[in-house]
Amino acid sequence: MARRPWFLALVVALLGIAAGGALYAQMESGDRGILPLDTSNILEVDGIHVDVGAKDGETARLEGWRIAQREGFKKLWAQSHGAPESQAPNISDSTLDGIVSSIVVQHEQIGPNRYIADLGVQFDQSRASDLLGVGGITQRSQPMLLIPVMITGGTETTVELRNAWQRAWAEFKTSQTPINYVRVSGLGPDPMLINAGQAIRPGRGWWRNLLDSYGANDILIAEAMVHRSYPGGPATATFVARHGPDGQVVGSFQLSGADLQSLMNAGVQRMDQLFAGAFDAGALERDSTLNQPPPPPPPPAPEQPAQPQAAMTLNVQVVSPNALTYNYALAHLRTIPGVDGVQQVNIAIGDVSNFIVTYHGTPASLRAILIARGWAAELNGNTVRMFVRPVKPATAQQPAAAGPTNAVAPAAAPKGPPQ
């Protein structure tokens, strides 16, 4: 059967379109995205139970809220000072109305002349701090990017889909914790950047880009592994708090409950206590590998070529007993490296001839070159006197011992200045 490459290419193209459509559908899904509550300027007290009777339900409800404000302020004062609620000051209802921002109804029952409810009270931190006698939390951590990972049914998710674990973190009140959480909503590119795969990524370069994108300095990973006895039944969750790009374990615990969302809310409270305790103990230090690597050292500066020595004018005297010596000296002076010019001052065959030499060097170096070339030379200031080196008288040679008849004669010596 003949192969059909065009058919395979068509199948690959269709699969690519399908994958792209699935990705677009995931990015545009309305089943994700829980905006975190901004509670940075709110002090909240929960779990205040009221049971009030009055002439009608509305009056009983208003009186119940008044009682919740009073008890909430005393409870908040006791938490701030570490003292019993009985020592808290009594604040007038008009003053409490000015510092309470809202009443949170957790559960309520309204009858014809009775009101029963579980309430929470939120105080404005800036206005309540003076009455509480404290300035709120004075030391907070550096911004920590929080990645909530929920594991259930063998699937790990973060913000790809709405889940009870992300909702618990989105609704968590952060005003009374020392941890400066950076929480994501799950909108926009969050599902692609903040996912379970990112939580175990070792590469530091991607982590740096991610932290810069969200304005954070460090990473906190909150894991919740949920197990149910049967679908919809009671749940048992194992919570693990991790820190840093390598997921170092800060602490862990287990909770059980029938309602999953209440279980996750309690897990957030316990996990925040683990993070806060680690921060107080100095265990949430930023990993140094998250810092930008130092820039490479600058390339070495190119070596500057040596500046040529400035030319100087020297007086060169030549003892010239004959014209051959004079010409030979002139030729030597013109071929010395560093000599720019040789000017003949006078020609005195049989006496001393004079030259003016423009030379890039010192008189001593010129004398050394002349000696190396077989001349005799003397130095007197800037005057170099050159003359033919005298020939040493030949010494009597001893008769050579008998040797082989095919011995090779020594090589002839190189020619020097004329004798």
Q: How many helices (H) and strands (E) in the chain?
A: 11, 14
Region of poorest pLDDT, from 98-112, 148-162, 399-413? 399-413
Are the CB atoms for 70 and 91 separated by under 8 Å? yes
Radius of gyration for the chain, computed over Cα atoms and rounded to the nearest angstrom: 49
Q: What is the mean pLDDT of residues 116-144?
A: 75
- Residue where the block lists tokens 């990524």: 201
SS3 140: coil
Long-range CB contacts (within 8 A, 24+) of 387-391: 387/318, 387/319, 388/319, 388/321, 388/325, 388/417, 388/418, 388/419, 389/416, 389/417, 391/419
What one-letter code names the amino acid at 214?
Y
CB-based contacts of 396, cutoff 8 Å, min separation 6: none
Q: Which residues pair with 387 in a beta bridge?
A: 376
Angle at 221 between CA 217 and CA 222, to 5 degrees: 135
Q: Give the phi and the psi of residue 72 in degrees, each rounded to 5.
A: -65, -40
- 138-290: which CATH architecture? 3-Layer(aba) Sandwich (3.40)
pTM above the 0.95 mark?
no
Instruction: Give 175's DSSP letter.
Output: T
Does 264 have pLDDT greater than 90? yes
Nearest to 247 by CA among 157, 142, 143, 149: 149
pLDDT in tens, 345-361: 888 888 888 989 888 88
**pLDDT confidence of residue 1:** 41
d(CA 45, CA 392): 118
Q: Print the SS3 string covering 244-299.
A: CCCCEEEEEEEEEECCHHHHHHHHHHHHHHHHHHHHHCCCCCCCHHHCCCCCCCCC
Q: What is the mean pLDDT of the chain?
A: 80
Give the CATH number of domain 312-388.
3.30.70
Q: What is the mean pLDDT of residues 292-301?
A: 84
**Tokens representing 258?**
């029938």
Q: What is the mean pLDDT of residues 260-272?
A: 93
**pLDDT confidence of residue 87:** 84
If you write DSSP's letter for every residue of 18-39 in order, what string do you get? HHHHHHHHHHT-SS---PPP--
d(CA 60, CA 346): 133
Instruction: Sort strands 248-257 and 351-359 into parallel, antiparallel or unpaired.
Output: unpaired
**pLDDT confidence of residue 134:** 56
Angle at 174 between CA 263 and CA 126, to 5 degrees: 140
d(CA 374, CA 412): 16
Does 236 have pLDDT greater than 90? yes
Confidence at 50, pLDDT banded by 50, 70, 90: very high
d(CA 375, CA 389): 6
Are the CB atoms for 182 and 215 separated by under 8 Å? yes
Are the CB atoms for 384 and 355 separated by under 8 Å? no
Nearest to 182 by CA among 218, 150, 137, 224: 218
- Domain spans of the chain, in order of start: 42-132, 138-290, 312-388
42-132, CATH topology level: Dodecin subunit-like (3.30.1660)
pLDDT in tens, 5-29: 554 455 455 555 544 444 444 444 4
Are the CB atoms for 43 and 75 separated by under 8 Å? no
Share of the chain above pLDDT 70, in %: 81
